Amino acid sequence: MPIYELSQDRTTWTVADAAALVAAMRPALLPQAPNDAAFMAQWPQRQAGQIIRNDSPEMWVDDLIRTGFMRVLAPVNVLDEWKECRATIGRFDGLLVDLRKTGFSFVTAIASGATFFFAVEKSSPIPESGKFAVFTIIMVLTLTLYVVDRVHQIMQQEAVDLARRLEQDWLRFTITSLLGSKYKRSYAIGLGIGLYWVLLIAIYLASVFTSNECGGCQIAMLLELVIGLAIIEFVVLKTRLW
């Protein structure tokens, strides 16, 4: 069956034909109309002044679509959409695992190599600016990785929310709601924050402990660490879904 959507508030009706649509719309939009014919004669002309033919439900609906009051959405198989939601959730789970596994390994490898760079060499000391630049690059890479991670997490949560709505409104399934009750949205977000906080702090400590004679850059690194942690919190607050 086609799905009709009202443009002004995006209310939808899934009905078999134009006559059924008129019968469904009248109680919601103009309940004082005594019958369907009176409803078609009064709505929506008195609201917008549009010329809408009301000789038959078919003409009335055609004119509503033509003038932009309504549009027809493609029929949706709810079960197929739910299956696609569950498949999308699974794909994003895999993407997040791979992203964190690969990204963390990459950043850890860079940080491990950087410890040798931060080590103090008496014969040829490394300038403080060079050490601070390396630390900054590692921090930026880590923060970029977190932003990408968060974007994937948001898109996955949208699929979860849609699957839950389909289950509650149409399918009477419970799997998404049941899983969500065991592992809440806030837990997933908190886990992501915790992982990246630990990574940033570990990078900072590894950098500081191998640059004992670099007092100026240690202060700058601490400031940059605080800014990095604040950026993570800012991203979470701006994209909070719970």
- Residue 22 burial by CB count (10 A; 0-12/13-18/19+): exposed, middle or buried? buried
Strand partners, 4: 13, 72
The residues spanned by each domain of the chain are 3-73, 78-238
> Who's near 173: CB < 8 A, 6+ residues apart?
82, 166, 167
Burial (CB < 10 A; 0-12, 13-18, 19+), residue 221, is buried
Q: Give the pLDDT of residue 126.
A: 66
Say if residue 7's pLDDT is above 60: yes
Confidence of residue 29 (pLDDT cuts 50, 70, 90): confident
3-state SS, residue 14: strand
Strands 12-14 and 3-6: antiparallel
**pLDDT tens-digit map of 147-169:** 999 999 999 999 999 999 888 87
**Where do we find the tokens 């970029």?**
144
Residue 216 in this model has a pLDDT that exceeds 60: yes
Q: pLDDT at residue 199 above 60?
A: yes
pLDDT-derived band at 197 (thresholds 50, 70, 90) equals very high
Q: Out of 134-143, 169-178, 209-218, which region has the weakest mean confidence (pLDDT)?
A: 209-218
Residues sharing a CB contact under 8 Å with residue 229, sequence separation 6 or more, in sequence order: 197, 200
Q: Residue 98: what pLDDT?
A: 92
How many other C-beta atoms lie within 10 A of the C-beta of residue 216? 11
**pLDDT of res. 153:** 92
Residue 143 main-chain phi, psi, to 5 deg:
-65, -40
Q: How confident is the model at residue 188 (pLDDT cuts 50, 70, 90)?
A: confident
13 and 24 Cβ atoms separated by less than 8 Å: yes
236 vs 184, residue with greater confidence: 236
**Whole-number Å distance between alpha carbons of 3 and 71:** 9
58 vs 66: CA distance, rounded Å: 12
What's the CA angle centered on 73, arms 71 and 75, to 5 degrees? 150
Lowest-pLDDT range of 78-82, 111-115, 132-136, 205-209: 111-115
SS3 67: coil
Predicted structure pTM score: 0.67
Higher per-residue confidence, 73 vs 234: 234
What is the rounded average pLDDT for all residues in the chain?
83
- The answer to whether the beta carbons of residues 107 and 138 sit under 8 Å apart is yes
Distance CA 194, CA 161 (A): 24
pLDDT of 133 strictly over 90: no
Q: Are strands 70-73 and 12-14 parallel, antiparallel or unpaired?
A: unpaired
Phi/psi at 7 (5° precision):
-65, -35
